[in-house]
Each structure stands twice: as structure tokens, then as C-alpha cells.
Amino acid sequence: MSREIYQEPLVSRYTSRKMQELFSEKNRFTTWRRCWIALAEAQFELGLTDIISQEMIDEMKANQFNIDYDLAAAKEKEIRHDVMAHVFEFGKKCPKAEGIIHLGATSQFVVCNTDLIIQKDAFSLIRSSLLHVIKNLASFCEKYKDLPTLGFTHYQPAQPTTVGKRNTLYIQDLIMDLSFIDFFLGQIKARGAKGTVGTQATFIELFKGDNDTVRKMDELVSKKLGFSQAFAVTGQTYTRKLDMKMAETLSGIGASAHKFAVDLRLLSNLKVQEEPFEKNQTGSSAMAYKRNPMRCERMTGLARKLMGLPQDFAATYSNQWFERTLDDSAIRRMDIPQAFLLTDAILKLYINITSDMVVYPMQIDKLLKAELPFMSTEKILMEAVKKGKSRQEMHEVIKDHSIISGKMIKEYGQENDLLERLAQDDRIPFTLDELNHLIGNYKQFTGRATAQTAEYLEEVVYPLLKANEAGMGVVDASLSV
């Protein structure tokens, strides 16, 4: 790696080798050649045997991966056209087939079909990583399904939940993301062989006006490229609306990850739950005691970048005048790889973090007990009504004492004395012992959290993971830095 020029951090620091390879020049240009081979094969099989021979096709196949990148780059610099530079270079490797490479096609035949192939493969990697995160979180939820923890609304203490139940919320979001991926994959079709502005005029000429054969060629090329269907109509390109939906799908994963990462950063501050912290890891260059949630912070930053990309794709799609304008080219070269690389980097972190999160039950217990008197006020209210008291009167009494107790905690650092205050008020029909007995253990305030977690795992998550075992594969979630 050169130290003298800028290196893309997504490649040098954050992403997997597999995703990097998908968006490499090697994969892109060899896939261009795959498209040219598929086109020549389809044309030959459908009757252009007076122009194309099996020998030409065999020559092209033999040289699909034999690329002189320097020659192609030099030619592109000369003619200012990347596709024609590679047509030229491929022709040099295939002298017998030189005259029929790219026959009847436009540049977007290889560019669009290749983009679609790469996106389909990239989504397969993303889908696999997403399933691994879900699996990690499911194990975590199972382990902590009945460990009570303080709930928060508005980031203020609320009724207890359980650690496992809270994490089912993250799983549910990711399963939604998974369903959006599957929906999007159902929308991906080949651009096929549509010609310069999508009318297939050149192919009609090649096949002497035979509409049915040209239509068969379009279908055959698409199947050879691994698609079950081709877009029924296109301009010069497949609709950039598809790119827009691709970006929205990936951005949704970024938003789910961002939500999780920020929550874990907040929990880390409370010292109740943390991301993994390695033996020799340094949290701060100045403050040696610190255990900064750096992986979650990195995930937050990467997700922020990913969540901002859809507006680029929307602007590109909406500015494609008529059959096509070229302002889509430069931005897509950057934004499509970035969208997938960012998602890959985020999920790599997400897998790493969820594989070994740390929970501190004693600190959780401490926070719960500090808030328990406040959490019990609704139960005290209901029990007072059962003893014949007015709900409205009891609500005012409990509210007044709660405000005073909260003030003493915040302004003077005192312990929570709400129960003592209530016991000393003659309007409250309970002694301190009765109040302590009444509120009992905070576990009673978690409702169906444990049952909900168990039900969700058994009825939704585990069946999903079982159905997708074959698609999970092996994911490398180790971090380079």
C-alpha cells in the first residue's frame, strides 16, 4: 500500500476482503467480458452463425481473465471512453473475435448489467452478515431474558424491562431490514440487451427485423448472466429508481445499527453494559482508566455517512432526462461501492460487538433499587384505592412527595426517601413496612418481558435462522484496527 497518496479508509481499515473484491477493477472488467461473451453466445445460438463462430466465442472465454490493465488505461486516456478502451484491449487478446465483440450493444450493456450482477452478489454478503448479527443478539437475549434492568423513556428512568427484552427490539429492526433486502432482490432484473436508447434497433437490424428472435436474445443474455428476468423496458440504462431503492435499503440497515450503537454507548456511560474490551486495548491517550465505546462510536459515524447517501441517489434518479444523461456516471462510481462498503463495515462491527457484550448485574441492581420507589408509585396508588381512598387525591399526594424526593436527590445528593415520606403522611393508608412489603422485588414490575422474549425467540427468530442456515456462510468479523 502506497503511503504517498490518499487511501480510502473503507478499504484500508474497515471492510471485508470479500466486499472489496466485489467492487474491484478485476471483478468489474472481467464481468464486462462475461457480458460480451453472453451476448456473442446468444447471437450465435439464435442464428448469427454467418458472423459469429464457436471459435470466436471460445477465444473470448479463454481470455476473460487475461486483461492488460495498463493497455486499457492508456487507450482510455487517448479516446476518453472506458468501455471502448476495454473493447480495444479485449480485441487485442482475441484477434479472431475482435470484430464481433460488443456487436450491436451500447456501453450501458456492460456497465448496467455488471452493476446489477455486483449488487446482487453484494447483497448476498450483506444478508449473510445481517443473519449473523441476528444470531448473536438471539443468543444474548436468551441468556439475559429474565435479568431485570431499568427501562428508559426520554432517557429518563421508567418501568423496568429485561436486558433480553430490550435486545429483541434490535433484532426486530434487523429482521425488517432483512425483509427489505429480500424484497429488493426480487426487484433486481437484468438490463439485458436493449440497445442505445432501449429500443433494440441495432439488434432488429442484425436479425433482419425478426422481433421474436431479438426478444429471445434479450431473455437468453439475461439468463446467461444469472438473472431469471430482464427489465421489460429501459432507456439507455436500467431505471436509476432501482439504485435509489438500493440505497434506501442499505441506509435502513445503517439506521438500525446506529440506534443500537447509541443505546450501547449510553449504557456504557451508566456502567451497566459494554462492548467487548480487549486485554491490551487503550481507551484514552490521557485518561488511562477509560473504557471508551470506540467500536460503537465508529459504527455510529459510519452509519451517519451511510444514512446520508440516499439523497444522492434520489437526485441522480430524478435528474435522468428522457432516456439518459451522463451526470449519473461519476457519482455512481463513488456512491454504489461506498454504500455497500459502509454497510459491510457497519455489520462487521455489529457482529464483533454482539459476539461478546459485557453485562454488569450488580450495577443494574444498584440503579434499579435507586429508582424502585418511583417505579412503585402506580402500584401504591392502586392499592390505596382498594382501601377506599380517592384515586385523584392519592395521585396528588404521591406526586407532591415524588417531586420533593426527586429534588432532594438532584440538589443535595440524598438517597431516595420517597417511601419514608409517604409513610409519614397520614393520608397514605400504609406504614413503611407495609410499603416495603407492597413493592417487594423489582422483578414484579417487568410484566411479560421474560415471556415476550422467550416467545419472540421461539416463534420468530429461531425459525428464521433455521430457514436461513444455508445462506449464512462464514463471516470474518475481526477488526484490523
List C-alpha distances in Å: 158 to 165, 326, 367, 375, 447. Answer: 15, 54, 12, 7, 13
Residue 445 Ramachandran class (φ > 0 left, ψ -120 to 50 alpha, else beta): alpha
Tell me the C-alpha distance between 227 and 376, whole Å.
60
Tell me the C-alpha distance between 213 and 233, whole Å.
17
Q: Are strands 273-274 and 358-359 parallel, antiparallel or unpaired?
A: antiparallel
Which residues are the active-site residues? 154, 284
- Cβ pair 115, 227 in contact under 8 A: no
- Cβ pair 193, 217 in contact under 8 A: yes
Q: Where are the beta strands (DSSP E) in 88-194?
A: 148-153, 156-162
Which amino acid does the sequence have at 219?
E
Among 44, 46, 126, 140, smallest CA distance to 340 is for 126
Which amino acid does the sequence have at 232?
A
- Cβ pair 364, 32 in contact under 8 A: no
Which amino acid does the sequence have at 216?
K
Q: Positive or negative, the Cα torsion across 27, 28, 33, 36? A: positive
CA 158-164-166 angle, 5° bins: 40
The terminus-to-terminus CA distance of the chain in angstroms comes to 16
